[in-house]
Amino acid sequence: MSGFKVINPGMLTLIQDTGRFGFHGIGLTNGGPLDPLAFRWANRLCETAVDGSVANNTALEISIGGLLLEAQVDTVIAITGADMALTINGVAYELWQSHSIKAGDQIELGYAQQGCRSYLAVAGGFDIPHSFGSAATVARETIGGITGDRLQQGDFLPCASFNAQQHCSVDSNDRPHYGDAFTARVILGYQQETFNDVQQQLFFSSEYTVSDRCDRMGYRLTGQKIQSSIDGILSEGICHGAIQIPADGQPIVLINDRQTIGGYPKIGSMISIDTAKLSQLMSGAQVSFEAVSMEQAHNLLHFAEARFQQAQLQRC
């Protein structure tokens, strides 16, 4: 069988595709890449290199870094996302670009200097069995991936052999820039009425710090406390990006591996293109909030999609 052997899995490396949808009713959350844009660019680079179609190919999400793979196949890879030094057989190579790999090559990623998560895609995707329609790993639910957990030393990632027809890179103007602060757009929800005008003003005029209590379920922020007029609600479904306010008044932004129901009041929901930016922040980074309408959120999402579709890869 051809593929890649995991020599060092790094801090946290997960098998992901676009996610698992339609199973909230039985308590299964979505999973999928925390930064879908970087994930899609990695797959697009690989498929363009072999003249294939860009599909929902299974890739790797590498958090923090430290991954080392040994190729046992001739193929094409691309790595996008956070600034992690890439070497192939000890020689430095560029991120955001497709590269030919030969059997015996060693692919190594250093530790993130800017951003937090990178995506390694391979032509044709990794051949991972699906659970409930997806290969996405959600470790909390022990589902997806190889064993329902992060990659381990000695794991094998099967994939097909491909030869590159051309190599491409993403233009620097089309690459996201990962910083240490940003302003997230929020759609207010119906529970905003439980936060009076003063509490809402405090929330939207304050700057919060990303705490060290962050994972794929949610990002806990610290800063100005805000309070709802109610202590809790009956548990209800939770959408991606929901901003819960627990009893301590510190916001929690829920993302891909969130629980499917919860009972804390929610002031609103962060839009999806901004949860991707949030997931690239390390502990200590700064986040502020801005209210937008649902119509504005739709426009922002459609603009981002149009920009991705219209962007032209650069031959190299």
| Residues contacting 37, CB < 8 A, separation 6+ | 176, 273, 276, 304, 308
Taking only the tens place, the pLDDT of each residue in 221-272 is 999 999 999 877 888 899 999 999 999 999 999 999 999 998 899 999 999 9
Query: CATH class for domain 181-310?
Result: mainly beta
Sign of the dihedral defined by the CA atoms of residues 31, 33, 36, 40, in that order: negative
What is the pLDDT, as a whole number, of residue 102?
Answer: 98
CA distance 63 to 72: 24
- Which positions of the chain have pLDDT values less than 50? none
- In sequence order, the β-bridge partners of residue 158 are 3
What is the pLDDT, as a whole number, of residue 55?
Answer: 64
CA distance 288 to 273: 15
Judged on CB neighbours under 10 Å (0-12, 13-18, 19+), 126 is buried
pTM across the whole model: 0.96
Distances (CA, A) of 161 to 51, 152, 314: 14, 23, 24
Query: Start-end ranges of CATH 2.40.100.10 in the chain?
Result: 181-310
